[in-house]
Structure 1
C-alpha cells in the first residue's frame, strides 16, 4: 500500500438503519467522515449523534426541477442553502459532496449540461470546504468530459480547495480487500461507502448497504 485511505459514509439522515450503521462505524474509528443529506427527516438527530465522532459534510441534493432552466446563481444559492442548513443546525461542515452524475451532468437523467462543477467549486471556496472532486480523472470519461474535469481541478486549485487524489466508488468484496490495499495508488484515496446497520425493506440498496457495513465493521478498510 502506497497511498492513504480516507473512508467516507454517505446518505446520513436518509433512514434510521443508515444512521445507526454510520454511528456504529464512526464510534469504532472505521470512518474518516460522513456526508449528510441535510434535508432528510433524520438529519438533525444523526448530526447530533455524529458531531463528536467524525467530521460531517453536506451531501447536496438537487432535483431535476431545481436544475432545469436554472441560472448559475440560482444553482449556487441552492447548494449554499444546504450548507447553511447544517450551520444553522449548529454543526460546522467539513466537505461538500455531490454524486458524480450531478457534478458532471452525466447519465440518462442529466438535465444540465456541464453539471454543477462551477457552482460547487464556488460554494466550497466560500465556506472553505473540501470538495469530492478527484484530482485524477475517473475512468470512462469522454474526451469532452475529461477536459471539463481538468478545467474543474484547475479552478478548484485556484480557489485553494482540498481535493482527494483518487475517488473509489466501488466497495470491494471481502476477498478483494487485500488487493485493493496493495494496489492503492499514491496520494489520498477517498473510498465512498453506503453502510447501513440492518435491512430496510423500503430501500432498494438495502442488501448492499448491509454488506458494506459488515465489511467496514471488521476494520479491514479502516482509514490509514
Structure 2
C-alpha cells in the first residue's frame, strides 16, 4: 500500500505555480469582460430597439440553458470547423466571459430598474441627455447596488475556470494532472490544487469585502 508523500509536490512546484498564474490571468480577464459585457447586455435589453433587444434575449436564454462545458467545446472545437480558429486561452476566456456575462446582465437589469426614477428626472432637469444619464447616474448606482451579487458570480467564475483544463490550458487542475501522470500521486496533487483554489478564493473574498466596504462608506 502506497502511503502519502507530500514532498513530491515540492519537486513539481514550478509547474503548479505556472498553473496558478494562468488561473489568475484567465479568471481576472474573464471577470472583467463578463462584467462589462453584462452591463452592455443589460442596457441593450432594457433600452435597445427590438432588432437588438430580442436577439440579445435569445442569446442570453441559450447561454443560460446550456452547460459551460458545451459552450467551451462549441467555441474551441465547433468554430474551427467553419474556419474560425481560436487559441485555447482565447476560447477559455470567451466561454467563461459570455457564460457569466448573461447572469451578470440579469443582475444589472434588476439593479438598473431598482434605481429611483426620480434620479432620471433630476438628471434630465439638469440638462443630461439619455446617454449621459445612463453613464453618469444610473449605471454607477446599479453597479454599486449589485456589487454583492456580482461578487458571488466572480467567485463562481474562479471555481469554474478549472473547466478549461478540458481544452489543454495549463491552469491549476491541468498542471496537477500533468504531475500526476508522471508521479502517480493523485491525492497529493489534487489536494494541493484544492488548497490553491481555496487560497485564491479567500483573497478574492477579502478583496470584494474591501470594495464593498469602501462603497458603503461612499454612500
**Could you say whether these structures have the same fold, taking a TM-score greater than 0.5 normalized by the shorter chain as the test?**
no
Name whichever structure is richer in helix by fraction: 2
The structure whose residues are more often strand, as a share, is: 1
TM-score by length of 1: 0.23
- TM-score (norm: length of structure 2): 0.23
Largest Rg, 1 or 2? 2
